[in-house]
C-alpha cells in the first residue's frame, strides 16, 4: 500500500511513462538486475535528478536499451519529453541560482597573479598542495578548490615571502651585471687543462661551475660565449643550469674564428646560486663522419645580468607620504576592484600602527600588503550576491576578472580595469575587441596550453614510460616534442583563424626537427628545436589531433597500444561522453585455443560476443580500432608484431560505427567525424564553457550551450569566433 501511495504522489506523466520503462528498461534496471544501482520500478529513480539526466542522454542518443526490443521513434520521443520535463520541473522547484562555490585561485593562477601584481616571478604557489581536478576534469573547477588548514598556513607563509622579496628588490634595484671568465671558474675534472680562453669540454661528466650572489629575485639573462668543433657523433651543445635546474641549452655551431654568444633567460632567487655549464652531444644534424674524435665545446665566458624591471609596488623614493597611494593601488589591483572607504582606512590604519612601532616606511607598508594577500578578496574571485532566484549580470570589474582569468589565468591588466570603470565591458563590440587584444598578448599562451593540456589529457603522455627495448628512439626530448606539437597546433588553430575541422583533420601541423625526423617526413624548414608550421605530404598519415604522437601514446601502456583506451579517449574528448565503468565480477575474455597468437584486434573482437561487454565495447572499440596503424608511441606501421612464428599479419584498421557507418582506416574515420561536425562543435563548446566557468555544465545550461554552438556554426566553426561567442554569452556574463 505504501508503494502504491508513492506512485500516486508522482506526477501523472510518470504513471503514463511507466509502461515504457517496464518494457524497455526494467530488464537491466529493475528488481532482478539493478545495473549501475538504478531500479526504474521504484519511484525513487524518477525523483533522482542524476538518474534522470543519465536516462535522458542514454535514450536520446540511442545508447539504451543496448540490445533486444527497441522503442519506436514515437516511444523514444515520449520518453525524452518526459525526462526533459521532469528535469526542468525538479530544477525549478529546487533551484537557487545565487548559491555557488566561490572560485579560489589555483596554483597557476596564484603564481601568475603575483607575477603581474609585483613584477617579480616568485612562484610561491609551487609549495602549495596540488590542485586536484574537479568533477569536470579541469584543475580550476571551483568544486575541487577547497581550503585546507595546510593551505591556510601556506597562504600566510607566502604573504611573508612575497613582501620580503618585494622589499629586497626595492632596496637592491640597481641593475646587476657580472662577467665570469671560464678559466677562473671551477672544474669537476681536475685533469682537464686550462686554455688561454677557458676550457675545452668533451664529455658530459665535465662540469664548469661557479657561485653567484644575486641581489634580488627576478629575471636574469645568462649569455655564454662559446664555439665548437663537430665530431663523429654530431655537433657539441651547451647546457646552462642554476642550482641544478635547467636554464637553457643550445647546439653550438659557432667556430673558433667567429665565436658565438648563446643567451638564455630564466627567473632566479636572490642569494648564493650555483651556475654551471655542461657539454652534451647534439643530435647529428651536422656531423663530421671523418672525425677521429668526438665533438669539442670551447667555453670562454659567461655574462649574467638582470633582465627587465624588478618590482612595481614601491615607487622610487618611497616615503610615508606616498604610502597611502602605494598601499591602496596594490590592494585595488590585488582585489581586482576599487576599495571601499572603510577597506582603505583599515589598511592605512594597519600601516600607521606598524610605523608607530618603529618600522621604516616601506617595512610598515609591507605589513599592510601582507594583510591584502591573505584576504579572501585576493584568494577568491568573489562575485555579486543578490536575488537568489535570478541569474545576475556580473559587474564590469567581475566580468573583467572572469575574462582575464579565462584567457590569461591572471588578474586584469590596466586596460581591462579602465574598461570596467567606464562600464564599457557591457558592450558586445567592446568585449570582442578585448578578446582579440587579449589573444594577441603573449599571456594568452597560458590559456591555450592549459586548456589543451587538460582537455586532451596531455599530462598522461609518458605516464607509462615506453619499453626501451621495444622503443629505443623514445626519450624525454621526443616526449616533450610530442606534447609541444599538440600545444603549438591548438595555439595555431586559435590564433591563425582556423576552424574545428583542422582539429579533426588538417594538411599541416607544427613541427620541430626532432619530431619531423620521428614522423619520417622529408626535409622541412623545421630543422631546429622551435616549432614551425609545416605542410604535410599526403603520405604522411598525419593531420589533426587524433594522429599526433602525443594523443596516440597517452592511450598506451608503454609496451603496446591500447585500442580500448584510444576509443575511450575519442568518446570523452571528441564526443563528450563518458562510458560507464565495467560491470563488477566480469571474467577476463578467454583465449581462443585455436588462435593462441591472435592479434590484439582479434582478441578484442571477443567483446562483441560477450553480452556483459558488448553493450559498451560495441560503442568504444570501433573508435579506437581506427588507429591500428599506429603503435604505442604513435609510429606508423603496416604489420602487427605478434609472438607467433612466420610473417607478421597486416594491420587491419577498418571498422563500423554504432550507427552503421563504415571506415577503412584513420583517414576514413576522420572524414566521418568531419561529416558530423555539429557533434564535435557541441562537445568543444561544453569543454570550453566548463573550463571558462570553472564548473561542470548542468541541464539548466543546455539552452545557452546550444545558442553558443549555433553562433559558432554561423561563423563556420572558427575557433576564435567560438571563444568570442562564449565570452559574449549570457552563460559567461551572468552568475
Q: Look at residue 289 and tell me whether its pLDDT is greater than 60.
A: no
Closest CA to 124 of 114, 133, 137: 114
Q: What is the DSSP string of 634-677?
A: S-B-SB---SSSSSPPBP---EE-TTS-EESSHHHHHHHHHHTH
What is d(CA 222, CA 248) in angstroms, rounded to the nearest whole number?
A: 9
Q: Distance from CA of residue 558 to its chain's centroid? A: 22
Neighbours of 69 (CB within 10 A): 8
* Whether 68 contacts 33, CB under 8 Å: no
Residues with Cβ within 8 Å of residue 387, at least 6 apart in sequence: 98
Which residues have C-beta within 8 Å of that of residue 374, sequence separation ≥ 6? 155, 156, 159
C-alpha distances in Å from residue 400, one per residue of 145, 348, 405, 595, 710: 21, 27, 9, 63, 25
List the Cα angle 306/310/312 in 5-degree steps: 165
708-715 own/partner pairs: CB under 8 Å, 24+ apart: 709/678, 709/681, 709/682, 709/685, 712/681, 712/685, 713/678, 713/681
The answer to whether residues 145 and 106 touch, using CB atoms and an 8 Å cutoff, is yes
Q: Give the Cα separation of 676 and 699 in Å (integer).
A: 23
What's the CA gap between 336 and 417, in Å, rounded?
8
At 12, the pLDDT band (50, 70, 90 cuts) reads very low
Distance CA(471)–CA(637), nearest Å, equals 13
Task: Go through the chain and tell me how many residues it has.
Answer: 735
What integer is the mean pLDDT of 228-239? 87
Q: Are 348 and 368 in contact (CB under 8 A)?
A: yes
Per-residue model confidence (pLDDT) at position 25: 78
Q: Where are the domains positioned within the chain?
A: 2-94, 177-306, 458-675, 676-733
**Taking a C-beta distance cutoff of 8 angstroms, is the pair 321, 358 a contact?**
no
Kindly provide the residue ranges of all beta strands, DSSP E only, lying in 412-530, ordered along the sequence: 508-511
pLDDT in tens, 124-169: 999 999 998 877 889 898 888 888 899 999 999 999 999 999 999 9
Most distant CA atoms of the chain, gap in Å: 101
List, for residues 607-620, the tens digit of each pLDDT value: 565 656 666 777 78
Percent over 90 (pLDDT), the chain: 56
- Please give the CATH number for the structural domain made up of 177-306: 2.60.120.260
Q: What is the mean pLDDT of the chain?
A: 86
Q: Which residue has the higher pLDDT, 17 or 107?
A: 107
What band does 649 get if pLDDT is binned at 50, 70 and 90?
Answer: confident
Say whether pLDDT at 218 is over 80.
yes
**Measuring CA to CA, which residue among 119, 116, 174 is closest to residue 312?**
119
Instruction: Give the residue from 667, 652, 412 showing the smallest Cα distance to 539.
Output: 667
Segment holding 449, helix H or strand E? helix 445-455
- What is d(CA 317, CA 322) in angstroms, rounded to the nearest whole number? 9
**What is the spatial distance between Cα 555 and Cα 558, in angstroms, rounded to a whole number?**
9
Render pLDDT for 359-388 as a digit per residue (tens, 0 to 9).
Answer: 999 999 999 999 999 999 999 998 875 555
Confidence of residue 64 (pLDDT cuts 50, 70, 90): confident
Are 608 and 618 within 8 A, CB to CB?
yes
C-alpha cell at 692: 571558462
- Cell numbers 569543454: residue: 687
Amino acid at each position: 500500500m505504501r508503494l502504491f501511495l508513492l506512485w500516486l504522489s508522482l506526477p501523472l506523466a510518470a504513471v503514463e511513462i511507466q509502461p515504457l520503462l517496464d518494457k524497455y528498461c526494467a530488464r537491466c534496471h529493475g528488481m532482478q538486475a539493478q545495473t549501475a544501482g538504478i531500479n526504474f520500478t521504484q519511484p525513487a529513480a524518477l525523483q533522482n535528478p542524476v538518474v534522470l539526466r543519465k536516462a535522458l542522454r542514454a535514450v536520446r542518443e540511442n545508447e539504451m536499451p543496448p540490445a533486444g526490443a527497441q522503442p519506436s521513434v514515437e516511444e523514444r520521443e515520449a520518453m525524452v519529453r518526459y525526462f526533459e520535463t521532469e528535469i526542468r520541473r525538479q530544477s525549478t522547484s529546487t533551484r537557487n541560482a545565487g548559491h555557488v562555490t566561490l572560485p579560489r585561485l589555483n596554483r597557476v593562477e596564484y603564481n601568475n597573479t603575483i607575477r603581474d601584481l609585483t613584477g617579480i616571478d616568485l612562484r610561491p604557489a609551487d609549495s602549495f598542495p596540488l590542485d586536484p581536478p574537479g568533477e569536470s576534469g579541469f584543475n580550476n573547477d571551483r568544486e575541487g578548490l577547497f581550503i585546507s588548514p595546510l593551505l591556510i598556513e601556506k597562504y600566510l607563509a607566502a604573504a611573508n615571502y612575497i613582501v620580503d622579496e618585494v622589499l629586497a628588490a626595492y632596496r637592491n634595484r640597481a641593475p646587476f651585471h657580472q662577467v665570469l671568465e671560464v678559466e677562473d671558474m671551477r672544474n669537476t675534472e681536475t685533469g682537464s687543462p686550462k686554455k688561454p680562453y677557458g676550457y675545452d669540454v668533451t664529455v658530459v661528466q665535465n662540469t664548469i661551475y661557479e657561485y653567484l650572489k644575486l641581489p634580488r629575485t627576478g629575471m636574469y639573462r645568462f649569455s655564454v660565449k662559446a664555439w665548437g668543433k663537430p665530431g663523429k657523433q654530431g655537433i657539441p651543445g651547451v647546457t646552462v643550469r642554476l642550482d641544478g635546474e635547467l636554464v637553457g641549452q643550445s647546439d653550438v655551431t659557432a667556430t673558433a674564428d667567429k665565436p658565438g654568444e648563446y643567451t638564455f633567460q630564466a627567473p632566479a632567487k636572490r642569494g648564493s646560486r650555483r651556475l654551471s655549464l655542461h657539454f652534451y652531444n647534439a643530435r647529428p644534424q651536422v656531423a663530421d663522419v671523418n672525425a677521429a674524435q668526438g665533438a669539442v665545446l670551447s667555453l670562454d665566458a659567461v655574462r649574467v645580468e638582470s633582465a627587465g624591471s624588478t618590482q612595481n609596488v614601491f615607487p622610487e623614493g618611497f616615503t610615508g607620504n606616498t604610502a597611502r597611494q602605494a598601499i591602496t593601488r596594490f590592494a585595488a589591483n590585488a582585489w581586482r576592484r576599487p576599495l571601499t572607504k572603510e577597506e582603505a582606512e583599515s589598511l592605512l590604519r594597519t600601516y600607521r600602527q606598524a610605523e608607530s612601532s618603529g618600522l621604516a616606511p616601506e617595512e610598515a607598508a609591507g605589513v599592510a600588503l601582507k594583510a591584502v594577500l591573505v584576504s579572501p578578496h585576493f584568494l577568491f574571485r568573489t562575485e555579486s550576491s543578490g536575488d537568489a532566484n535570478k541569474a545576475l549580470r556580473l559587474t564590469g570589474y567581475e566580468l573583467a576578472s572572469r575574462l582575464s582569468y579565462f584567457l590569461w589565468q591572471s588578474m586584469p591588466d590596466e586596460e581591462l580595469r579602465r574598461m570596467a570603470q567606464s562600464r564599457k565591458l557591457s558592450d558586445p563590440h567592446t568585449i570582442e575587441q578585448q578578446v582579440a587584444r587579449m589573444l594577441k598578448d603573449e599571456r594568452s599562451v597560458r590559456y591555450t596550453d592549459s586548456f589543451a593540456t587538460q582537455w586532451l589529457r596531455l599530462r598522461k603522455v609518458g605516464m607509462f614510460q615506453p619499453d626501451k627495448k621495444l622503443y629505443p628512439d623514445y626519450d624525454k626530448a621526443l616526449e616533450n616534442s610530442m606534447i609541444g606539437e599538440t600545444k603549438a597546433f591548438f595555439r595555431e588553430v586559435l590564433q591563425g583563424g582556423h576552424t574545428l575541422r583542422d582539429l579533426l583533420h588538417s594538411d599541416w601541423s607544427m613541427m620541430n626537427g626532432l619530431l619531423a625526423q620521428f614522423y619520417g617526413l622529408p626535409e622541412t624548414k623545421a630543422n631546429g628545436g622551435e616549432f614551425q608550421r609545416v605542410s604535410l605530404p599526403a603520405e604522411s598519415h598525419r593531420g589533426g589531433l587524433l594522429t599526433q604522437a602525443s594523443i596516440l601514446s597517452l592511450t598506451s601502456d608503454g609496451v603496446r597500444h591500447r585500442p580500448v583506451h584510444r576509443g575511450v579517449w575519442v568518446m570523452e574528448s571528441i564526443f563528450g561522453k563518458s562510458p560507464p565503468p565495467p560491470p563488477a565480477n566480469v571474467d577476463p575474455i578467454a583465449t581462443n585455443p585455436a588462435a593462441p597468437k591472435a592479434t590484439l584486434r582479434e582478441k578484442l573482437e571477443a567483446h562483441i560476443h560477450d553480452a556483459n561487454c558488448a553493450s559498451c565495447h560495441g560503442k568504444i572499440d570501433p573508435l579506437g580500432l581506427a588507429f591500428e596503424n599506429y603503435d604505442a608511441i604513435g609510429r606508423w606501421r603496416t604489420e602487427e608484431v605478434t609472438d607467433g612464428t612466420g610473417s607478421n599479419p597486416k594491420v587491419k584498421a577498418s571498422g563500423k560505427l554504432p550507427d552503421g557507418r563504415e571506415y577503412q582506416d584513420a583517414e576514413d574515420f576522420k572524414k566521418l567525424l568531419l561529416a558530423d561536425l555539429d557533434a564535435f562543435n557541441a562537445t568543444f563548446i561544453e569543454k570550453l564553457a566548463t573550463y571558462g566557468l570553472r564548473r561542470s555544465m548542468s541541464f539548466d545550461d543546455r539552452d545557452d550551450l546550444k545558442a553558443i554552438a549555433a553562433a559558432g556554426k554561423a561563423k563556420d566553426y572558427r575557433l576564435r569566433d567560438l571563444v568570442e561567442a562564449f565570452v559574449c554569452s549570457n552563460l559567461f556574463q551572468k552568475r
